[in-house]
Amino acid sequence: EVQLQASGGGLVQPGGSLRLSCTASGVSFDDYAIGWFRQAPGKEREGLSCITTSAGPTYYSESVKGRFTISADIAKNTMYLQKSSLKPEDTAVYYCAAPCYNGDSDFVGHWGQGTLVTVSS
């Protein structure tokens, strides 16, 4: 059984930084790309970034490019999303998911439980 567990969310001030983690079980990062999505209140789910062990990051959405960095620790089967220069519009529930292809949620077969990030002063 594939399980993805996101953690690291919380309250952060605008301009601040935060790192999210996603621990995977029942799936190896070598199997396919894994990535991050988010859903803000009243908005559709948005694909943010995808990564493979062979190619590294394969996708960043324009909304986070240059501010967010995806990475993975294969030994720990854990993926990270380092977020900086956070804006109030980054407030959302963040999900890890697999497979991740160009940030398109239609390709996702496994969703993890989300972690809430609130950017507010």
Hey, what are 121's tokens? 């002063």
Q: Which pLDDT value is given to residue 55?
A: 83
Place of tokens 């001030």: 13
Q: Has residue 29 got a pLDDT over 80?
A: no
Hey, what are 90's tokens? 């980054």
**Residue range 72-89: mean pLDDT, rounded:** 94
Mean per-residue pLDDT of the chain: 94
How many contiguous H segments (helices) and E segments (strands) does the chain have?
A: 0, 11
Hey, what are 29's tokens? 């990062």
Q: Which pLDDT value is given to residue 27?
A: 79
Q: Which pLDDT value is given to residue 61?
A: 97
Q: Which pLDDT value is given to residue 1?
A: 85
Q: Which pLDDT value is given to residue 47?
A: 98
pLDDT per position as a tens digit, 48-68: 999 998 888 889 999 999 999
Contacts of 100 (CB under 8 A, 6+ apart): 32, 33, 34, 35, 36, 47, 49, 50, 51, 58, 59, 107, 108
Q: Which pLDDT value is given to residue 30?
A: 76
Q: How far is 6 from 17, CA to CA, in rounded Å?
A: 17
pLDDT per position as a tens digit, 30-40: 778 999 999 99
Structure confidence at residue 26 as a pLDDT band (50, 70, 90): confident
